[in-house]
Amino acid sequence: MRPVIDAFASEAQRHAERILADADANADTVLEEARRQAERLLAASRADGAAAARRLAAAIVADARREARREVLSAQRLVYEDVRAQAKAHLDALAHSTEAASLAERLGVVARRRLGDDAVVEPPEGGGLGVVARRGARRLDLSANALLEHQIASMGSEITALWS
């Protein structure tokens, strides 16, 4: 009986060794697949991180450009307002000069030429240099403020060139 038991034991030992060898091979395959999967996940995560970093950088650059543009526009606006204020102050000073009456007469002639001889020509509301003329529903504002605004608007491309 001993030889039979030894044969069974020997067979069981070989069978156990085959199972262990198969298990080791299977474990190696599973570990290798797990490593490949981890590498794919890591590469995908790196790519996602790089893409997210590029998007963030683009957003930061866009924000910086918008802020810089706001600063430029604000500076341009301050210069524009300063030029306008200086011109207005100069015109306001002229309103009290000896030439103001002569200028108002000449502007009255221009207004009547445009609207007709029966146009009503008056000083601007609130006083100041220039005239405002009316004839029926038509109105012509030749006040210093209106002429200043018109002149500044007509200089748009010249003013824009200052910023370039």
pLDDT tens column, 80-137: 888 889 988 888 888 888 888 899 999 999 999 999 999 999 999 988 899 999 999 9
For residue 86, is it within any domain?
no
Going edge to edge, which strands form the sheet with 130-135?
120-122, 130-135, 138-143
Residues 65 and 111 in one domain: no
**pLDDT beyond 70 at 73:** yes
Cβ 124 vs Cβ 147: under 8 Å = no
Q: Is the pLDDT of residue 55 over 80?
A: yes
Domain end among 41, 73, 105: 73
Flag whether 84 is in a domain: no
Q: Tokens for 88?
A: 């207005």
Under the banding of pLDDT at 50, 70 and 90, the label for residue 164 is low
Q: Are residues 67 and 8 in the same domain?
A: yes
Domain count, the chain: 2
Instruction: Please write the tens of the pLDDT for every residue from 16-42.
Output: 788 878 777 887 888 888 889 989 988
Q: Is residue 7 part of a domain?
A: yes
Q: Residue 78 above 80 pLDDT?
A: yes
- Please state the rounded mean pLDDT for residues 66-72: 94
Q: Tell me the chain's radius of gyration from C-alpha atoms.
A: 45
Query: Is 69 in the same domain as 3?
Result: yes
Q: What's the pLDDT at 54?
A: 94
- pLDDT category at 71 given cuts 50, 70, 90 is very high
Helix (H) or strand (E) holding 21: helix 2-95
Same domain, 55 and 104: no
pTM of the predicted model as reported, rounded to 2 decimal places: 0.57
Q: Which domain does 47 fall in, by range?
A: 1-73
pLDDT of 159 strictly over 80 = no
| Domain assignment present for 87 | no
